[in-house]
A = this chain, B = another copy of it.
Amino acid sequence: MYHLLISCPDKQGLVVAVSQFIAKYQGNITQAHHYLDGHKQLFFMRNEIEAKTLSCSFAVFKTQFARLAQPYNMTWQLYDERIKKRILLMGSKTTHCVADLLHRDHEQELAGEIIGVLSNHQNLAKMANWYQVPFKHVNIKQETKAQDIQAMTKAIDEFKPDVIVLARYMQIIPKEVCQKYAGKVINIHHSFLPSFIGANPYQRAQERGVKLIGATCHYVTQDLDEGPIIEQEVIRVNHTHSTLQMQKMGQDVEKITLAKGLQHHLENKILIIDNKTIIFT
């Protein structure tokens, strides 16, 4: 299956052009979503195209589509579903999200493959090892910041990741990484944003006495906790729950919200527009 994602200024004949193109190469559409943002006059489109009926290679299809795309000012992406995205996990001491994703990978649940774990702590090494996933230790210290950032960037680059998952990674990602991997870094924040932006959300939730706590999966931008939201989930809490209990309960929501959000990304279901996501599900 190929996934073709398009966003461009709205224009009559757009759908005809795209569907004619697909038909010309004997492509068969199995799912498609079109969406027009009336305010911005932007058109968004996602097509799932059966690969086996196509009369040309992925490369040819791609080259030819580029020619179609240009006059329409399309921003577009074409993916071959069989080429699994390379996922790099970044974790810290907390293990639940890393463990959950490694297990999903092991069970071949993910539409991608985990190719490495980076952490600023050593405790995930054994787990990664058991799952036969390469592990690297990286840490950015205040004293050796510049050089640590360089080392981290190098470590990341060497993994050649298609997507970087901050699986409860507790340090701030260097600006350089954010820029280089824009739209490819996914974070899980342990609150239903925009509530409790920043540190210690469970403690603040407990203090405020909210009746729902949650988690938010979002793309990372340079503005902390302000990137495009992919997925959110909540669970019910009450007055008997301490901050610690909320943390434990929240872990289930974090795991599932991150896995769901990541899966949408891996299945090429997401378009980012300004600071929001369009998710074709």
Chain A residues within 8 Å of B, Cβ to Cβ: 10, 12-13, 15-16, 19-20, 22-23, 26, 28-36, 38, 53, 95-96, 99-100, 103, 107, 109, 130, 192-196, 208-212, 214, 228-234, 238-240, 248, 251-252, 256, 259, 275-279
Contact B19 A16 (CB under 8 A): yes
The copy count of this chain in the complex is 4
Q: A109-B248, A238-B279 are in contact. Are A212 and B211 (CB under 8 A)?
A: no
Contact A35 B240 (CB under 8 A): yes
Contact B23 A34 (CB under 8 A): no
Contact B32 A32 (CB under 8 A): yes
Measured CB to CB, the closest approach of chain B to A207, in angstroms, equals 8
**A23 in complex: contacting residue of B12, B26, B209, CB < 8 Å:** B12
Contact A38 B34 (CB under 8 A): no
With A10-B28, A13-B23, A212-B233 already in contact, 11 other A-B pairs whose C-beta atoms are closer than 8 Å: A12-B28, A29-B36, A95-B107, A109-B248, A194-B196, A209-B228, A209-B276, A211-B231, A234-B234, A239-B276, A239-B279
With a cutoff of 8 Å between Cβ atoms, the chain B residues found around residue A214 in the complex are 212
User: Would you give 30 A-B contacts (Cβ < 8 Å), ordered by A?
Assistant: A12-B28, A12-B53, A13-B23, A15-B32, A20-B20, A29-B34, A30-B34, A30-B36, A30-B38, A32-B32, A32-B34, A33-B34, A35-B240, A99-B103, A192-B192, A192-B195, A192-B212, A194-B196, A194-B208, A195-B195, A209-B275, A209-B276, A209-B277, A211-B231, A238-B279, A239-B277, A239-B278, A252-B256, A252-B259, A256-B256
Contact B240 A211 (CB under 8 A): no
Contact B36 A15 (CB under 8 A): no
Contact B12 A16 (CB under 8 A): no
Query: Please, which residue of chain B has its CB at the minimum distance from the CB of A38?
Result: B30
With the chains together, A208 CA to B216 CA distance in Å? 13
With a cutoff of 8 Å between Cβ atoms, the chain B residues found around residue A95 in the complex are 103, 107
Contact B209 A193 (CB under 8 A): no
**A20 in complex: contacting residue of B16, B30, B251, CB < 8 Å:** B16
With the chains together, A20 CA to B196 CA distance in Å? 45
Measured CB to CB, the closest approach of chain B to A68, in angstroms, equals 14
Q: Kindly name the residue among A38, A103, A212 whose own CB sees the greatest number of chain B CB atoms within 10 A.
A: A212
